[in-house]
Amino acid sequence: MPAVDRLDTAIKYLVLAFAAVMGFSRGGIHTVAWLLIVTAVLRFCWRPFPVPLDKELKRALLLFFGALTIASLFSGDIAASVKFLGLSVVKILPFFIVIAVVKEQNVVEQATVLMAGSMLVGAAIATWQGLHGMHRVGGTLGTMDFAGIVGLLVPVLLVKGFEETTGKKVRILYIIAAAVAMTAMMFNGTRAVWVTLAVTCILFVTISLIINWRKNRQAAVMVCALLLIIVLAFINTPSLNHRLHTITDTKFKSNHERILMWRYAIDVFTDHWLLGVGPATLPTLPLSPEEEVRLRQNPTYGHVHNNLLQIAAESGIAGGLAYLFLFYTILKTTVRKMRQAATQSWAMIAFLCTTDYLIHGMFDYTFNIPTIMYSFWLIIGLAYVSMSQEH
């Protein structure tokens, strides 16, 4: 076997390995992601390969990273901004690698099964922790990483779990993994992901019924039943009920702190709307005495808990608009692909995962969490591979 073919095979196995550890190992995600990137770089140096990007997505990516580059060059701390820019590129590389090297649909399906298995393991560990009294469980990933991964994988599990072309045993695995993951999230307590999962389920039911209500009504009923069980669990569990009610309480400590941080980001953007203050520099800016009191007392200070506001404050109006345009482009493509029977499944997965990521990113700075970004872009890469093959 030629060296190039061996490297391609190694990349495919690393994609599968990433899927196999996604649900329960932060160290595994980082290790496999870097092995995947290094192997792909070696493969590209040996014999360059084309990256089959459609024009719309290519333009959106160029605009976004172009805006980050310009903001970095005019940053108050160029070294920190350029480092951030480089790491941002690294986090999206799994997407480029997957669409460039993975050509076989069976690799996509194998990766999906492995993601379901890894989520089942991670969610089972987290559920066990919750049942034994642990507060804000995170399995072996950590609270925030686990919540973000659950938010990305539940759409995959729901769509594939109710896909008629999938084998019965595998569908059972998907549905069980989704149910256990959503149960674990009750113990995790990340309210932003509670919201994203509720939206995910509602959108899944709505889209499924719009596509074909007769064929998908059983899936809609089952997902609604699962949601009802979870709602009843929240109602009848005082601790969950109390935390749920804090979502809209502006006086609740973490909510109040987020509002202060959002106002701070808006103030920074207003003062530096053209180019921003530079990527990765917002937490290090000199603060006024009032801002010191408002923000430095917050032990979680270091970012403003909102992807768009953070990027807009640091990269200016061009960065903020380019960020929105990038994800608008993905959503636009997936909506178009959902109208075609052959591409509905993975188009819906990409649409729900992107929606989930955007909603979660309204309340947390997920753009800077490598485990979430690697996983998001790998899933979107698998979706684009599948959508491009199923014409």
- Would you place residue 300 in the very low, low, confident or very high pLDDT band (cuts 50, 70, 90)? very low
Per-residue confidence (pLDDT) for residue 1, from 0 to 100: 57
Average pLDDT over residues 72-91: 94
Residue 293: count of CB within 10 angstroms of its CB: 11
User: Residue 257 above 90 pLDDT?
Assistant: no
- Indicate whether this model's pTM tops 0.85: yes
Q: What integer best gives the mean pLDDT of the chain? A: 90
Per-residue confidence (pLDDT) for residue 227, from 0 to 100: 86
Please report, as a single letter, which amino acid is at residue 335: V
200 exposed, middle or buried (CB, 10 Å; 0-12, 13-18, 19+)? Answer: buried
Residue pLDDT, tens place only, 107-156: 999 999 999 999 999 999 999 999 998 888 999 999 999 999 999 999 99
> Which sequence spans correspond to the domains of the chain?
3-252+296-389
Q: Which residue has the tokens 């605009």?
A: 63
Shortest CA distance to 21 belongs to which of 142, 119, 123? 119
Give CA–CA dist 346/339, Å, rounded: 12
Identify which has the larger pLDDT, 68 or 259.
68
Give CA–CA dist 189/159, Å, rounded: 24
Q: Which residue has the tokens 């149960």?
A: 183
Residue pLDDT, tens place only, 23-64: 999 999 999 999 999 999 999 988 887 888 889 999 999 999
Per-residue confidence (pLDDT) for residue 291, from 0 to 100: 56
Q: What percent of the chain has pLDDT over 70?
A: 94
Residue pLDDT, tens place only, 195-233: 999 999 999 999 988 888 777 788 888 888 888 888 888
Per-residue confidence (pLDDT) for residue 342, from 0 to 100: 85
- Would you place residue 253 in the very low, low, confident or very high pLDDT band (cuts 50, 70, 90)? confident
Shortest CA distance to 312 belongs to which of 370, 268, 354? 268
Residue 41: count of CB within 10 angstroms of its CB: 12
